[in-house]
Amino acid sequence: MVTTNLHKIASEISISKRDSSESNLLEYILYGRDCLSELNSKGFISVRSVAIDIDTNSHSAKLPDDYMKFVALGICINGRIVELDHDDTLCIREFKDNFCCDSNANISKKILYSIVNKGSGDALFTYTSDINNPNGDSILVPHESEENPSPNICSYTIPVTESENERIISIIGDCQDECGCGEIKNADEVFKTTLNCFRCNAIPNSFNSYYNWNGIEYKNSSLDAIPTFPAYTTIGAYKIHNGRIYLSSTCGLYAEKIILKYKSSGVSETGQTEVPIILKAAIKAYIQWQIELNNPSSLSMVQIKWQEYKRQAKLLTSQEVLKGILDMLKAEMMHIYTGNLGR
């Protein structure tokens, strides 16, 4: 669907009026919001895509103020979006305001370390393969020799040993074995491994198609198109409850941001709300009517602008009706053609 936004529509009106005032531009955007609210009540609902920061304590995020209805949702991992499936049965931990310092730092990648023991005896190294259990894993490394080559381990943290003397710990690079998608029978483990693949900048074999998610807003600015992989699993991954989006613990662990496409009430705080291009003429007519209404040159001009807006709004309704009739006609003609194939 081809879209535009209120800022672009208001800018076009400003240019046509040779008006460079920033305050007037904001006024036009406000008029456009009022028009959208009116059109929304008639069924012409605008659509927005936004990136939302995640509260790390509850794996949740607040829905936008202009949210009306869900369209699509995904999580951003390493510059890509993975769409998620909805699960009403998902257990959630209700969000509570936190007045302490809140860190939104992303979990680091696993690093592949080379461990060398130059000492005379064995050395015990502890490391972290599960981010929820720091230094919960260990490995006993003997003195390095031809019979005992140095092992490599994957860890979120630098491996630790009691004595640092004659111990050599070297970084080899990102842990590539985390990017493998082996044959794992447990569905949740498959999901975790899949998300790990994306975090390690690899694409699982099960993802064979993608599209570019355009028009995503973040903190009043537009992001470049992001490659997006459609939902492929039946694992429930999020739930919308009491004005918030709750992620499963797995998604909350890996997600950098939530990407949400939704139907908007048309009253966002910015003029970036996406609207179908078909609404553009009606919105422009409404804004021009409101401009004339607040600074009338004549009562007849106010009436002309009002009639033009009503005409455009009525035309929208006619176009929607006509579209439905044409869809019905196409289906009927296809049925006729199918019936005549054997003749």
Residue at 324 is within a domain: yes
How many separate domains does the chain show? Answer: 3
**What is the SS3 assignment for 94-128?**
CCCCCCCCCCCCCCCCCEEEEEEECCCCCEEEEEC
**Of 226, 245, 276, the domain-final residue:** 276
Same domain, yes or no: 308 and 250: no
Q: How much is the pLDDT for 98? A: 46
Per this entry, what is the length of the chain?
A: 343
Whether residues 153 and 169 share a domain: the answer is yes
Considering the domain architecture, whether residues 211 and 241 belong to the same structural domain is answered as yes
* 293 and 259 assigned to the same domain: no
Report the pLDDT value the prediction gives residue 52, as an integer from 0 to 100. 93
Predicted confidence at residue 338, as pLDDT, reads 43
Read off the tokens for 290. 């409101």
- Integer-rounded Cα Rg, in Å, for the chain is 28
Residue 266 resides in a domain? yes
Distance CA 301, CA 94 (A): 55
pLDDT at 269: 56
- Shared-domain flag, residues 69 and 193: yes
Residue 181 lies in a domain: no
Please check whether residues 154 and 218 belong to one and the same domain. Answer: no
Q: Are residues 61 and 195 in the same domain?
A: yes
Q: Taking phi first (over 0 means left), then psi (-120 to 50 degrees means alpha), and beta for anything else, what does residue 266 get? A: left
- Residue 299 falls inside a structural domain: yes
pLDDT lower than 50: segments of the chain: 97-107, 177-185, 324-325, 335-343
Do 334 and 287 reside in the same domain of the chain?
yes
pLDDT in tens, 103-157: 333 445 678 888 888 877 888 888 888 766 778 888 888 888 767 777 888 888 8
- Domain-embedded: residue 26: no
- End of a domain among 276, 308, 327? 276
27 within some domain: no
Residues 193 and 226 grouped into a single domain: yes
Within a domain: residue 282?
A: yes
- Residues 282 and 311 grouped into a single domain: yes
**What does 265-289 look like in DSSP terms, one character per residue?**
-S--SSS--EEEGGGHHHHHHHHHH
Q: Are 282 and 312 in contact (CB under 8 A)?
A: yes
Whether 118 and 134 map to the same domain: the answer is yes
- From start to end of 148-190, where are the E strands? 152-155, 160-161, 167-174
Give the helix ranges, DSSP H, for the chain.
6-16, 22-40, 187-199, 249-254, 280-294, 299-339
The predicted pLDDT at position 284 comes to: 93
Indicate whether 87 and 13 sit together in one domain: yes
Instruction: Quote the domain boundaries for residue 155.
Output: 111-174
CA 184 to chain CA centroid, Å, is 28
